[in-house]
Every structure is written in structure tokens, then in C-alpha cells.
A and B are shown apart, each in its own frame.
Chain A
Amino acid sequence: MTPAAPSEDSALEKETASENVDVSASANPDDEAITQASSDPATGNSPPSDSAGLKGWWKVFASTYVTIFLAEIGDKTQVTTLLMSAESHKPWMVFAGAGTALVCTSLLGVLLGRWLATRLKPRTLELGAGVTLLIITIGLGWDIFQGF
């Protein structure tokens, strides 16, 4: 009976040791989750969970937002909504219709892009996208030139 006692003790020690490991292991992911949650305001979107992916997500969002916003300020769609709200004196109704249309056209654009991504080789797609963006640049440059 005497050898059983020490083996029980060591088993107990092992158990407590593994508990300690469990605690320390579960503490780290919690911390990570907290820092991620603080850097990600609740938007209802589903950005990637790892922090590098999250950073990339927000970088793409911010660069797209800023560029498109600046390109659209003073553009014909904005002028259309401006004139329609001035004529009708119901700016929120005009905004409701215009806003829905803008969300639809953006969604159609991104979906068409995804469809092309399934059809084309990644490098072909990147080259096509790069050239397309340069054509938009030239178009904007032409607008600027004509404004002088």
C-alpha cells in the first residue's frame, strides 16, 4: 500500500500543473480578443479575426473610401441629387432613393469583380485592374484640365 501514496501525490501534482498551464493558455487569447475588440468598433461587418487581416481589411476600406469619396465630390451624381433636393424641397426622400441606388451600383460592381476573379488568372486580373485604375486617373486628369 505504501507505493500507492506517492504515485497519487504525483498524479495530483500533474493535475494542478496542467491546470496552471490551462489557465495561462486561456488568458492569452482573451487578451488578444480584448485588444482586437477595442481596435474594431462594432460595425456589424465581419472582418477577418486575425490582427494582420483586420489591419489589411481596414486599410482597404479606408483607401477605397477616401479615393472614391474625393472622386465623387462635385461629380454628376452629386449634382443630380443636389438639384433634385433643391427642386423638391424633400432632401431626405431624394437621399433615400439616391443612397439605395449607390449601394446597388457598388454591390453590382464588386460582385462583377468577384465573378471576373473566378474567370481570370490572378496576374491577368491584377494587370487589368491596374490599367483600369490608370484609365480612371487619366479621366480625372482630363476633368481637372478642362476645369482650368
Chain B
Amino acid sequence: MDWSLIGLSFAAVFLSELGDKSQVAAIALGGSSKYPKAVFFGTAAALLTASLIGVLIGEGTATLFPPQAVKSVAALGFLFMGLRLLLLGDGESDSTETTD
């Protein structure tokens, strides 16, 4: 075990993620959702997958996931979730969900 490398990567990633959009999204979604645990597991799993892909595929990530396209879909996702909160309130409440 290379503890200094683990510590270094922990510090680098921790500092760069503090206040970054994923953490801000986790604050917003975790505060307003009925299922904060689902938000935590979803956020943590997504970040772990993204960094695992970075470690495994390395430079190939950009060709496998074209940044512009991927970011556009993410932007649409945030737009949809934000508008749902503004217009419908808690969009996850069962009474507002009729279609599935």
C-alpha cells in the first residue's frame, strides 16, 4: 500500500471537489428530495464510476465519451430537475406521478 499516494490523491480530489457542481447538486437534491439516501448513493456511485473509468481507460475516455455530447445531456438533466423543482415542487411525490 502506497499511503502517501493515496493521501495525495485524496487531498487533491477532496479539495477540487469541495464546492464543485456535483457537491452543489448533492446539497440541492439531498435537501429537497424525499430520499436523501438515494441522492447520496446515486452521487457517490456516479463519481466513483467516473473516476474508475478515468483510471482504467485514461486518455481514451474522451473518444469513448465525447465531452460536448455528454455535457449537453448532463445539462439537460440538470435543467429538467431544476425546472421540476421550481414548477412542481417535490416532483417525486406520488400524487404528481401518474404516468410511468
Q: Which residues of A contact B (CB under 8 A)?
A: 45-48, 52, 55-82, 84-86, 88, 90-114, 116-117, 120, 122-123, 125-134, 136-137, 139-141, 143-144, 147-148
Total A-B pairs in contact (CB under 8 Å)?
316
Chain B hits for A80, CB < 8 A: 9, 12-13, 16
Measured in the bound complex, the distance between the Cα atoms of B14 and A101 in whole Å is: 5
Measured in the bound complex, the distance between the Cα atoms of B25 and A76 in whole Å is: 16
Measured in the bound complex, the distance between the Cα atoms of B10 and A148 in whole Å is: 32
Chain B hits for A130, CB < 8 A: 28, 82-86
B25 → chain A, closest Cβ, in Å? 6
Measured in the bound complex, the distance between the Cα atoms of B39 and A47 in whole Å is: 12
Measured in the bound complex, the distance between the Cα atoms of B29 and A23 in whole Å is: 44
> In residues 63-89 of chain B, which contact A (Cβ within 8 Å)?
65, 67-68, 70-75, 77-79, 81-86, 89
The A contact surface, by secondary structure, is helix
The B contact surface, by secondary structure, is helix
Chain A hits for B14, CB < 8 A: 101, 104-105
Chain A hits for B53, CB < 8 A: 73, 78
Chain B hits for A55, CB < 8 A: 100
Measured in the bound complex, the distance between the Cα atoms of B10 and A109 in whole Å is: 17
Q: What are 15 A-B pairs with beta-carbon distances under 8 A? A: A56-B35, A60-B33, A60-B39, A70-B71, A78-B61, A82-B59, A85-B55, A86-B58, A91-B55, A96-B6, A97-B9, A105-B47, A106-B40, A106-B43, A128-B28
